[in-house]
Chain A
């Protein structure tokens, strides 16, 4: 959408809301993508840290 006249925000970003609550579910410990997730979680790495390795 086109930016309305007079719109302003700090560094052009304006936070308005928050994510609504999440549900806790079990993910299935299966498959290559899960193993990558488990590795990140156990070593407390983020995606970008993981990318660098």
Chain B
């Protein structure tokens, strides 16, 4: 925490800046990330600004102005930052201040001062004001002036957008220590929990947000993350789920009030519907019924109604399955099989919806853990995942010099060769067809890597052959047998990530030997002893390995040089 070189002391927070909601978090002295509530008591702070008679409203109070004061309310502006006017989709802003082109950038025409003149405020200025509010809320809570932050951005955020965000943050008095990707932040939020282990796993982060959905497939190898594939979709989103409820209640309203005007056709009525439907959707994530009530919805008629969860799930079923399809699509894009996926982290506010979790879960084998509030009691609030990750990263790097951070995030450091195949030991038999592959270093592991594993030896001991091979993962599809017992057979296999899927056909992960690397002999192994294998793979693809009987000091050492030719000894 100490300030060096006379620089002002840093107080760093994590910020997740979304189109719909933003949040702020810090890391306590004990190293736990904690999300900060603003003055309104909200942890999910709507990314909204509204001006009433020169007064600036922010967060929820700004969002509610959409009904009364839509023209001077700015919301859903994050994705406009650093963009050209022609490349943006202004649809989400239909109900609030519309974006306009201004001097090569995007701006809003709003009455943001006391005198009733319209001012042109650029999206960068709007962002600055929004970040300033967030910063002030955090500063008030922490009791000291916050001056730097780690901000989360989507994986497809271009450099121009990052630069624009950096400048906007600077204008708000915030130094951006680092931009981190939203899905990575979510993984970090889970991995930073004390009970988590930095194992090797493939994680899918599925973020169902308000105006967009982002899916990322991430290989987590010893706590280092590599993004294998990403999918972005602007059609499947939380606002579409709101739309489902809007349609439902508008129809109910018209059924009961035959002569009234359609509330969807009046801007103000529609705004009221939209706000209330989002609330109903949130209620349906927690309870089994949601109550809808709006005063003077249309033609001065009040309307109250209820909807139960089953009906809502029926109405939204197309969207739920579309979201599940997005997730499986991302997995396919990473050239993986659902069986390869260890964990799915559901992020974004709409992940509270139990049906979202079950729809995604149904698309994956039972071995895949779904981390969502409705499927796992230990799940972290999906809204808070990115901001927690950002807060953790902020606490890790706040003592570093900016130069250090820049050098560390430079492609020289981050571009790393990753293994294409798993490297492991052939057990049971030296023959490639009857042997059993035990992976030690997984595929997609960044190099250099060092791994140690203990492997069993033949029961009687004696001289043992250790065969180091590369293994390729195959999906074995077995047609169901009439007296299906195939399931049990696969359970006996001792590979930890061996799974079976009980659908009509049985799919399982198997290994094939792709490439034999080396053989080594360990002589005179005791009965029941284990052999310790240590593999060191360098960045130049040379392999350094040590095999020894567990407990013994001496072992066999071998070096496999890089290169193509010169295969045999």
Contacts and interface: CB of A to CB of B under 8 A. Distances in A.
Contacts of B428: 1
Interface string B441-474: 0001011101000000010001111010010000
Contact of B536 (A2, A33, A47): A47
Nearest to A1: B430
Contacts of B225: 27-28, 30-31, 34
Interface stretch (B19-27, B119-127, B351-359, B552-560): B552-560
A21 B539 CA distance: 11
A2 B188 CA distance: 43
> Which of A14, A18, A42 has the largest count of B CB atoms less than 10 A from its CB?
A18
Nearest to A23: B418
Contact of A31 (B223, B435, B516, B536): B223
Contacts of B458: 1-2
A2 B396 contact: no
Contacts of A14: 518-520, 569
Contacts of A26: 226-227, 411, 414-416
A16 B412 CA distance: 32
Given A17-B567, A26-B415, A31-B393, A7 B521 contact: yes
A16 B465 CA distance: 14
Interface stretch (B53-61, B90-98, B131-139, B419-427): B419-427
Contacts of A2: 430, 458, 462-465
A27 B181 CA distance: 11
B560 to A, nearest CB: 5
B528 interface: no
A31 B519 contact: no
B558 A13 contact: yes
B255 interface: no
B514 interface: yes
Given A1-B429, A11-B557, A47-B448, A30 B416 contact: no
Given A1-B429, A25-B446, A28-B181, A33 B517 contact: no
A35 B467 contact: no
Nearest to A8: B521
A47 B446 CA distance: 14
A30 B177 CA distance: 12
Q: Which bracket fits the contact residues of B?
A: 35 or more
A47 B546 CA distance: 15
B561 A18 contact: yes
B415 A22 contact: no
Interface string A32-53: 1111011101100011000000
Contacts of A20: 420-421, 470, 514-515
B408 A38 contact: yes
Given A3-B464, A12-B521, A42-B413, A18 B222 contact: no
B483 to A, nearest CB: 33
A19 B537 contact: yes
Contacts of B156: none
Interface string B136-178: 0000000000000000000000000000000000000000001
A19 B191 CA distance: 30
Contacts of A3: 462-465, 521, 523
Contacts of A47: 448, 450, 536
Given A1-B427, A2-B465, A42-B407, A23 B420 contact: yes
A34 B470 CA distance: 26
Contacts of B567: 15-18
B415 A25 contact: yes
A47 B520 CA distance: 24
B393 A10 contact: no
B17 to A, nearest CB: 17
A30 B470 contact: no
Contacts of B485: none
Interface string B534-547: 00110001110000
Nearest to B179: A29
B409 interface: yes
A1 B426 contact: yes
A28 B180 contact: yes
Given A1-B458, A1-B465, A38-B408, A18 B562 contact: yes
A15 B180 CA distance: 42
B237 interface: no
Nearest to A5: B463
22 contacts: A1-B426, A1-B428, A1-B467, A3-B463, A3-B465, A7-B521, A15-B568, A19-B537, A19-B560, A23-B417, A25-B228, A26-B227, A27-B446, A30-B184, A31-B223, A31-B224, A32-B396, A33-B198, A34-B224, A37-B224, A39-B408, A47-B448
Interface of B: 178, 180-181, 184-185, 188, 191-192, 198, 218, 222-228, 389, 392-393, 396-397, 407-409, 411-421, 423, 426-430, 435, 444, 446-448, 450, 458, 462-465, 467, 470, 514-523, 536-537, 541-543, 556-564, 567-569
3 closest A-B pairs (Cβ-Cβ)?
Answer: A33-B223, A22-B417, A13-B558
Given A22-B420, A25-B446, 7 more contacts: A1-B458, A3-B465, A11-B557, A20-B470, A28-B225, A31-B191, A31-B392
